């Protein structure tokens, strides 16, 4: 393969035009040449920042938030997570979001994984951290984030993944990875 020749199977992105743009999201149409030579106009959702989430584990339990998501009109359990602010490190965002949303500040975080939840359409990147302890700050500072904050036994978290009580993509992917990687015991 030379710089002039893309790898076999590469979709060539030949530019894009913006349909809608805001501080939260940008929708674009990309001019793409598929591997078989077919040209397509592909919709792309561009997110201006990555998201950071933290799986906080303490005494065999995981800290989860129970919340409503109006877009899907669903209730479910999630790990604390949110956008990385301008000038903020991804690790600092993970700690800040955990403290704001749950009222528990991780004592230390370690990178666990990163993934793109819908990379066929959206460029948002999720960064997941693991914290093995946290300090109680006396409650969340952002009351809009969760109806309840609870420490849930690791075995129950696994059951929640299996029975559909955890449906948020960031949380689902993060917790499944944590179980698979051995960060949470099966």
User: Which tens digit of pLDDT belongs to each residue from 88-131?
Assistant: 999 999 999 999 999 999 999 999 999 999 999 999 999 999 99
Distance CA 118, CA 72 (A): 16
pLDDT at 178 over 90: yes
Residue-wise pLDDT tens digits, 139-172: 998 888 999 999 999 999 999 999 999 999 999 9
End-to-end CA distance of the chain: 43
- pLDDT tens track for 23-73: 999 999 999 999 999 999 999 999 999 999 999 999 999 999 999 999 999
Contacts of 159 (CB under 8 A, 6+ apart): none
Instruction: With H, G, I as helix, E, B as strand and everything else as coil, classify residue 45.
Output: strand
Please give the structure tokens belonging to residue 70: 């109006």
In whole angstroms, give the CA distance from residue 169 to residue 166.
Answer: 9
pLDDT band at 5 (very low <50, low <70, confident <90, very high): confident
The β-bridge partners of 151 are 63
Does residue 2 have a pLDDT over 60? no
- The predicted structure's pLDDT at residue 3: 63
- Which domains, from first to last, does the chain contain? 12-46 (no CATH), 51-181 (3.90.79.10)
């Amino acid at each position: 393969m030379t710089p002039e020749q893309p790898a076999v199977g590469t979709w060539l992105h030949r530019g894009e035009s913006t349909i809608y743009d805001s501080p939260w999201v940008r929708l674009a149409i990309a001019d793409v040449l598929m591997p078989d030579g077919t040209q397509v106009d592909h919709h792309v959702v561009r997110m201006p920042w990555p998201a950071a989430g933290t799986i906080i584990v303490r005494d065999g339990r995981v800290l989860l938030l129970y919340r409503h998501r109006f877009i899907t009109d669903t209730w479910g359990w999630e790990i604390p997570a949110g956008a990385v602010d301008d000038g903020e490190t991804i690790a600092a965002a993970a700690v800040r979001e955990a403290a704001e949303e749950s009222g528990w500040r991780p004592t230390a975080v370690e990178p666990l994984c990163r993934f793109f939840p819908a990379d066929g359409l959206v460029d948002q990147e999720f960064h997941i951290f693991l914290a093995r302890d946290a300090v109680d700050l006396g409650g969340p500072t952002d009351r809009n984030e969760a109806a309840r904050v609870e420490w849930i036994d690791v075995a129950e978290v696994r059951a929640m993944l299996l029975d559909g009580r955890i449906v948020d993509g960031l949380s689902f992917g993060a917790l499944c990875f944590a179980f698979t990687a051995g960060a949470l015991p099966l």
